[in-house]
Amino acid sequence: MSRNSPSQSGVFHSTVDSRVEKFTESISFDHRLYAQDIRGSIAHAEMLADVGVLTSEEAAQITTALALIKGEIENGDFQFDEKLEDVHMNIESALVDRLGDVGRKLHTGRSRNDQVSTDARLWIRDSIDETDRLLKQLQIAFVGRCDADMDIILPAYTHMQRAQPVLAPHYWLAYTEKFQRDRERLADCRRRVNVCSLGTAALAGTTIPIDRENVAKRLGFEGVAANSIDVSSDRDFLVEYAFVLTMIAEHLSVWADEWVLWSSVEFKFIQVPQQFCTGSSIMPQKINPDVCELIRGKTARVIGNLQSLLVLIKGLPLAYNRDLQEDKERLFDSVDTVHRSLDLTASIVEGATLNTESINSRLEDGFLDATTLMEYLIGKGTPQRTAHHQIGSLVGKAMEKRCRLAELPIEDFTAVNDSLDKSVYDVLGVERAVAAFRSYGSTSPDMVKKQVVRWKEQLELS
């Protein structure tokens, strides 16, 4: 049966169509904001008492009742009603049922527009802190591998072709750096999230003598939003967080794709823990890295959520529009997806095993020492472009003879550059190539060890 919506005032002369109630409800997903909504309402009530709009007794009744409602929700004893539209009206209705007119006073000096913005900011702030914790957990997993893997050399790739040899910890720290940038983006995003919206009301502010700084302090915000119209329309903070989550998902996808390849028979670099793999319904020999594949695949939905949010806010006239109700499902999904992915990735990284025998058996394939040999020639005074061409011709000879550079006779070396002698063999081979690196940020063993120490200190592991 149709009835008046809880948001309708006496100006309406007709009831809301029942289909509209189902179409406009958001309680099915925004119930996740209950703790933040109650926290914001308690701060608002206490502020109203401080400025004399409520008595201290009324504020105490409200805060006590809200705390009880919160407990009921957490215990599963609270019945949400979609006819009440959203989490805000569900909680307020329960409050009015218990306190009558005292409960009706809570909404003084605020609107659902600034209320939902405040709830979202509080929820995102908490979520950012959890995202940062999970990123740090993953960084610790990568750095925690470094000491045990310090002597393992891996081929590094460009264009998916073997390029140069690197220490395994250099790979692990590459991901640690990526996730550090994500953490820095989160911290920067958090500053813009941590601004209090409450008290700007629907869009113009309020004539009630409220104290917005009072509320901001109670809720741990660093400041208050300066323009009420902007607050009512603003979802920048939410979209920015969705973007940071997308970057995290992109980085996870790169890692997952790499380890899917590395765990194949063709690479056989790494063994993903079997508890994070699945089998085949028809092929009994299969051990599939499905979790890695799904982490890679779920990146698509996180990207899609960001795209949806960007389109959602495109061209909306100031100030609030109901379109903005559509922001939360996209955000919640991105948060859930990224958080689960981060947690699983940390466990996979911790438990994976490098197949050193398989890696070492093919480590000299691909002329990984060619660039080091070129730079050896440069050190002897040969111009870079000339050295590049000469080493290329030596690689060509080795390919014709199906051998490694270190297996070419000295005559082949002296034929391309008469400054070379038998000492050239001292710089050939992947181990010597790795040992030859000098530049800051390179895979030089000494440099990598220093970086590991730096990260242990930064992550408080030592």
Looking at the annotation, which residues are catalytic?
A: 159, 280
> DSSP letter string over 4-63?
--TT--TT--SPBPHHHHHHH--HHHHGGGHHHHHHHHHHHHHHHHHTTSS-HHHHHHHH
* Cis peptide bond prior to 43, omega within 30° of 0: no
- Sign of the Cα torsion 299, 187, 144, 431 reads positive
Residues in CB range of 382: below 8 A, 6 or more apart: 390, 417, 419
Residues pairing with 271 in the sheet:
353
Can you tell me the distance from the alpha carbon of 362 to that of 226, in angstroms, rounded to the nearest whole number?
63
Quick one: CA torsion of 42, 47, 49, 54, rounded to 10 degrees?
A: -70
Can you tell me the distance from the alpha carbon of 379 to that of 369, in angstroms, rounded to the nearest whole number?
15
DSSP letter assigned to residue 156 = E
- Six-digit token pair at 303? 């990207």
Q: Which of 392, 252, 411 is nearest to 334 (CA)?
A: 252
The gap from C-alpha 45 to its chain's centroid, in whole angstroms, comes to 35
Phi, psi (deg, nearest 5) at residue 353:
-125, 130
Quick one: CA torsion of 55, 59, 64, 66, rounded to 10 degrees?
A: 150
- Six-digit token pair at 138? 């993953």
3-state helix, strand, coil in the chain (%, to 5): 65, 5, 30
CB atoms within 10 A of CB 459: 17
